[in-house]
Amino acid sequence: MVAIKKSIIGDHSQVEPFINEIMVLSQINHKNVVKLLGCCLETPVPLLVYEYVTHGSLFDHVHNTAGSSFLPWETRLRIATETAEALCYLHSAASVPIIHRDIKLANILLDENYTAKVSDFGASRLVLSDQAQITTIVQGTFGYLDPECMHTGQLTEKSDVYSFGVVLIELLTGRKAICLERSEEQKILVMYFVSLMKKDQLHDIVDPRLLNDTNFEQLKEVATLARQCVRVKGEERPTMKEVAHELAGMQAMEMYSWGKRNLQVEESEHLLAEELKNIYWDNATNHGV
């Protein structure tokens, strides 16, 4: 099974993004980027053929659209780590560095194992060796847009870092990047999140379904990283390589803690079984069995 993306008939403005997507994806080979299998530009409308990614988008699951399943924190952290690694690859390891330019929950797809697949490279830009920044018209999705790029028109890799920071905040809070139904101070998620972080009130905005007795410190670490990613000045944000490294370390600790908890449960069950066996034999001996 494959997924086919096609432009609107008669809309010539969509042809350029399609060709751009082909150019960009031809440079990419990464397990966490959706694979382009083929294309056809000779049909009445351009067609792109992708691998089919079965479990929809991260947006569907975080915001529970169409009855999508709830993602526990461990899964969210892994997906965030995989997405960060994909962006790190785009910025640092692809044959030509690539700025995605539209990172958001809806562009992170999930396969049957809930593995992240970054998609939609129609707005992406290849970065030539002599370009530290690109002057361009602002493109992307409101709520995820880098404010520095909006102000200056200068696109850099740090624009993706900002958008990824918004993704982290959505994963932590379960709230949408923009929600016009909320009060004025809460409509723009980034601004509300940062204001609460400044007052050390993270507890007031974290999705309560994610909390348990052991993980709040890790949630705080991810929140701190997210806040660094959404700093107004791009030069003050970390690189995606640094972000990916931080998240990978947190995920390793999470897996260690999970394994340790399981081991403790197994040890407790073993001790309980031994205790019950001793009680049984004591009773049997006392009653002459």
Residues catalogued as catalytic: 102
Distances (CA, A) of 151 to 12, 53, 79, 178: 29, 36, 31, 19
Burial 55-85 (b: 16+ CB within 10 A, else e): bebbbbbbeeeeebeebebbebbbbbbbbbb
Question: What whole-number distance in Å separates Cα of residue 58 and Cα of residue 79?
Answer: 9
Of residues 59, 248, 71, 57, the one with CA closest to residue 170: 59
Structure tokens at 238: 């970390």
* Gap between the Cα atoms of 253 and 249, Å rounded: 6
**Residues 261/108, Cβ–Cβ less than 8 Å:** no
- The DSSP result for 62-106, as a single string, is HTTGGGPPPPPHHHHHHHHHHHHHHHHHHHHTSSS-EE-----GG
Backbone angles phi, psi at 68, to 5 degrees: -65, 150
Helix, strand, or coil here: 181? coil
Q: 173 with 189: CB under 8 angstroms?
A: yes
Three-state DSSP class for 281?
A: helix
